[in-house]
Structure 1
Amino acid sequence: MDFLEQTTFHNRICEDLEAAMAAGRAVDAAAIRAERTCAAGQWLHGEGHKRMPGSHLHLHCLEAHRDFHRIAGQVADQINRGAVADARRAMRNGGALAGAKAELAAAFRKMRVATEASAG
C-alpha cells in the first residue's frame, strides 16, 4: 500500500468538496462516505487486516479512515443541502473534517513507517 499516495487521494476529496462548494454543485455523498471502496479501505479491511491482525496501529488507522469518510460524507450532505457555512466550518482549521484529515494523515504516516520497518 502506498500510504503517501493515499494521503494525497484523501486530501483530494477535501479539495473536491471545496471546489463543489465554490461552484455551487452537488456531490455524491454516498460515494464519499463509502470507506471500503477506496484503495486504502480495501487494503485496511483486506490485506492490512491479514498482515496486522489485532494490531493497535492497524485498528487506529482503520478508525481514522472510517471517521474521515463519515465526516467527509456529512460535509457532502451539508453542501448538497446548501448549508455551505456549516461545511466551511467543518473544513477550516479546527473543524471536524480538517481534524479527521490530519488524524488520517498521521495514521497513514505511522502505518507507512511500520510497514517499511517490517519489510526492511
Structure 2
Amino acid sequence: MPPSARRGPYFCGIDAAMDVVTGKWKSLILWELHHHGTRRFAELRRGLPGVSEKMLVQHLREMEEDGLVHREVYREVPPKVEYSLTEHGTTLNAALAPLGAWGTDRMRRIGAEKIAIEALPSRR
C-alpha cells in the first residue's frame, strides 16, 4: 500500500495530515526522534513513558509505511535495529511545530504543568 493510501479519500489537507499522526504516540515519536536523533527501540520506549511495546511497534510500522520513519536493520548478533526520521518525517515535524507552540501556550493559560518523566513509575 503506498504512503497515505491507508484511508482516503480526504476532505482537505488537514484530513490527510491527521491520517498519518492519528494516535497518541505518533507525534511523540516524531518529537523524540527529532530531539534525540537516531534511536534504538529500547531508547524510544524509555523516552516515551507509558507507551506499551505493542503500541510502539504498531505506530513505528505505520510511520515506516507512511514514509515518516526509516528502520535500519543491522545484520549482527544480537540484531540491532535503529529508527530515524526521513526527510518526509522531518517536514511533518516542522509542520507540527506551530501546533506545539500553541499547546505550550495553552498549558500556560490553564496552569497545566509538563510531566516530569522522572516522577513517572518505572515499567521494570
Normalized per residue, which structure has more helix? 1
Specify if TM > 0.5.
no
Q: Flag the structure with more relative contact order, 1 or 2, with Cα contacts below 8 A and sequence separation at least 6.
A: 1
The TM-score with structure 1 as length reference comes to 0.32
The TM-score with structure 2 as length reference comes to 0.32
Larger Rg: 2
Normalized per residue, which structure has more strand? 2
